[in-house]
Amino acid sequence: MAATLVALVAVGTAASVKIRIRSTTHGFTWIESAFMVGLAVAPAPWVVLSTGLGVGITCAIVKRAKIRSVFSVAKEMVLVSASALTLLLLGHHGGSSLSVADLIGPLAVAYLVNVVLDELLTLPIIGLATGTKVSYLFRENWNLRLATVVARFFLILGTLVILQADSRLLAAIPPLILSLHLAYSGRIRARTEQQAWQRLARATDALNAVDLNTVLRTAVTGGAELFSADEVEIELTGTGRLVRGTAKALSYDGPPGAVADGAGLVIPVPLEGHNTGDIGMLRLRFRGPVKLSEREQYTLRTFASALCTAVRNASAYAELNRVAEEHAHAAAHDALTGLANRRHLLDRGAEQLGQRRTEGVVALLLIDLNHFKEVNDTLGHAAGDRVLIQVAERLRGAVHGEDLVARLGGDEFAVLFHGLPAPAVAAHRAEALLTALHEPIELDGMRISVEASGGIAVAPSSGGMTELLRRADVAMYQAKRAGRRISTYAPARDTADLGRLSLGGDLPRAVADHEFTVNFQPIVDLGSGEVVAAEALARWRHPARGTIDPLRFLETVERSGLLPAFAEAVLDQSLIAVNTWREAGFDLPVAVNVSPRSLLDARFPGSVLARLRAHDLPPDRLVLELTETLTLSQLEVVDQVLGQLRDAGIQLALDDFGTGYSSLSVLSRIPVHELKIDRGFVTAMETSAEAAAVIRSTVDLGRSLNLSVVAEGVESEPQRRALWELGCAAGQGHLFARPMPAARLLAALHQGAGGRPGTLAPALHDEGAVVRLSPGRRPGPRRAERLPHLPA
Ligand code: C2E
Ligand code: CA
Ligand code: CA
């Protein structure tokens, strides 16, 4: 009986189904069927001992490693003891000849205990030994395992029925177990085979990526998973790259020499496709000894070949992409400077004009180098090219964030500004860009000064990029003609604007018939609301066209030869107004706009002083607002004119400050008394930090040079207060008053705001903020009478 049991256990152990996980092979045996039968028919101690003996003998026969033999013997003895104990607790004593029917219940429970305990003991150890998740092991093939458990239980019952009929039939049990085993292992093999093919298909499918990195990563992790390898590595000979990792992640990616070889068994496969040379190696690495089955070897070759194809495809795709990108770049860029070309500029501009509504103002700056032809002619084209490259580099370096710099050809460049908070900001940025060009360029030890003219246009409502480019071009030629660095496109000065041309013929009559009148806009102390000056703004009362604004007729007047007459008419009316106000007790200076052309006229100062004398007014009651910068060549005359005016005691103001000059050098050439912050910055100051910064630096500049600062276009109380907080003392704008005839302004001064004559707005109620001025001496905008009140 004992011998039979031992034999039974031995056969059950030997007939195992082998499954390899990593480098560990696990056998699943029939042993529990054997000892469950034993427990049903024999005393428990016997069965326990026979089990130990049977397992031990099998281990010795198949030459299993000592430690694993000990583990197997111990585990099986524990399991059989647990089952025996269960039967005992259920009141069944081994060896009794109970009927099978009585035994089913207790036997089922005991078997269940055995199965559960077996899983609990084995799976964590497999998990630990192979680095596999235990939860995964519990889930894997659970249905097959459950079926096996049920089958085994029926095998146990069947065996007992046979034994009860005739104990000699026990001899038939081992063949029965064997045939069952063959059927079972066959199924397992078929199933594993099928799964293996599916996994191979999935793994090779996943290799079909266009990005080489993805291919390599997928190959490493997928390969490790597919072959249950501890590590997989791929070495590409062409690029000298080695990628290594486990089923979970990459552990190395770099040159092959820089990493030590791992330990353990390595199975190498060359990466070669059909009739093509190999491109590298695929290596599987196992910590322990492993022998791949024939199927696995075939799978490995298939996988390597698929990987080879995938690597080739990804490389080809990358090359294709690179070439396409190179072509796209060449088509959109200038070969000499690497800047965008005209085509790219037009495309990008059109794109931005399309989304303009949501993204702020789009503007274009056109830059043309002055005297570039001379550089080419005297120093040669190679030197010219180097100048262009330098210019490109400087523009690129000075440009704001996403603004696009382009070379349109020759010595013409363009910068596309987008997302501007306000149109005035374009002029400010343009100024910074042209200043960057101003620094001399080193050429073979020679220093060359590059001067440039810029034309700015803000995106028109229609006409798209073509119109924007045309307008910037018009502005640029205007700048060149007027000898200015930068000019902003104004429709009134566009010769393509036909309505303007017909005005020319009407001019002589306008002068003769006094059709030019002047409106006055008060300039107000931002703190107290007191009127401190007034700006004269010309109007043309055209008999047929009604009132025409200066921007529509100024250019025509400037070019007509009637400019001196026009200027004199404006000056006369302004000085008459000053006298009227003075007599009424409001001693306000008047600010008169001066055309840059007047500054080129050496007779201009004389005529101004003559007008002052004629009206019997001290020179400090007149402020002249200058709107233009002039290039050095013209500055000599301008210097003279301005010098005479200044020396005579006339105040000078720089108009539209921030949009045209801002460089200190201009300020040092033109000694002015006042800066007028352009309306564009005031409009944008609440929404744009850039605009606010321009205002702040203008105010700071004013303070350090002891100049007064006037803000234009103040339209709201918050703007007034913000400007005042920034230290700006005076302002003009619709908040206080629109331009109006001299008599209307006088009436408004008499009436005052809140019963305070001379004021047009209530004071800002900040204790100590407003410095009261001594009576009889009203502050002109030219002098900063109060210390700027700045937030701490
Ligand atoms: P400017 O010197 O910058 O004058 C300010 C302009 O802004 C004026 O336009 C004025 O009416 C307007 N303005 C004032 N406050 C506000 C405000 O709160 N909101 C808005 N939206 N606009 C405001 P105007 O009168 O059409 O004058 C335009 C330009 O024509 C002047 O700009 C000046 O450069 C020139 N100009 C005017 N009169 C003369 C003149 O007699 N001689 C010369 N040479 N140029 C003149
Ligand atoms: Ca002005
Ligand atoms: Ca202005």
Q: Report all structural domains of the chain as residue ranges with CATH numbers, in order of start.
A: 2-197 (1.10.1760), 207-324 (3.30.450.40), 338-492 (3.30.70.270), 515-766 (3.20.20.450)
pLDDT at 497: 52
What is the Å distance from ligand 3's center to 637 Cα? 24
Instruction: Report the nearest-CA residue for atom 9 of ligand 1.
Output: 537
Q: From the CB of 596, is ligand 1 less than 6 Å away?
A: no
Give SS3 for 246: coil
pLDDT at 274: 65
Q: From the CB of 627, is ligand 1 less than 6 Å away?
A: yes
| 598 Cα nearest atom in ligand 1 | 44
Buried b / exposed e across 771-792, counting CB within 10 Å, b at 16+?
eeeeeeebbbbbebbeebbeee
Q: From the CB of 554, is ligand 1 less than 6 Å away?
A: yes
| 734 Cα nearest atom in ligand 1 | 18
| 627 Cα nearest atom in ligand 1 | 34
Contact 790, 726 (CB under 8 A): yes
CA distance 74 to 117: 13
Q: Amino acid letter at 200?
A: L
pLDDT at 190: 81
Size of the chain, expressed as the number of residues it contains: 792
Mean pLDDT by groups of 10 residues along the chain of 792 residues: 69 65 62 79 84 86 82 87 88 65 84 88 78 75 79 83 76 74 78 80 85 92 88 90 91 85 83 77 87 85 87 85 84 90 90 73 92 81 90 92 90 91 88 87 80 90 84 87 82 59 76 92 97 97 84 82 92 97 96 89 93 96 81 64 92 82 59 89 87 87 90 96 93 97 96 94 69 38 39 37
Give which of 539, 538, 520, 577 is closest to 732, Cα–Cα: 520
Q: Which helix (H) or strand (E) holds 657?
A: strand 651-657
Residues 6+ apart with CB under 8 A from 108: 153
Q: From the CB of 655, is ligand 1 less than 6 Å away?
A: yes
Q: From the CB of 18, is ligand 1 less than 6 Å away?
A: no
Is the Cα dihedral 204, 206, 212, 218 positive or negative?
Answer: negative
What is the Å distance from ligand 3's center to 655 Cα? 5
Tokens 């066209």, residue?
Answer: 545
Q: From the CB of 595, is ligand 1 less than 6 Å away?
A: yes
What is the Å distance from ligand 2's center to 268 Cα? 84
What is the Å distance from ligand 2's center to 535 Cα? 7
Helices (H), ranges, 543-624: 550-560, 563-583, 596-599, 604-614
CA distance 665 to 668: 5
Q: How far apart are the first and last CA of the chain?
A: 105
Q: What angle do CA 121, 126, 127 make, to 5 degrees?
A: 105
Q: From the CB of 570, is ligand 1 less than 6 Å away?
A: yes
Nearest-ligand number for the alpha carbon of 624: 2
Question: Phi/psi class of residue 410: alpha, beta or left (left: φ > 0; alpha: ψ in -120 to 50)?
Answer: left
What is the Å distance from ligand 2's center to 639 Cα? 20
CA distance 712 to 733: 6
What is the Å distance from ligand 2's center to 93 Cα? 118
Q: Which helix (H) or strand (E) holds 576?
A: helix 563-583
Nearest-ligand number for the alpha carbon of 715: 1
Q: Residue 291 is encoded by which pair of tokens?
A: 């022998």
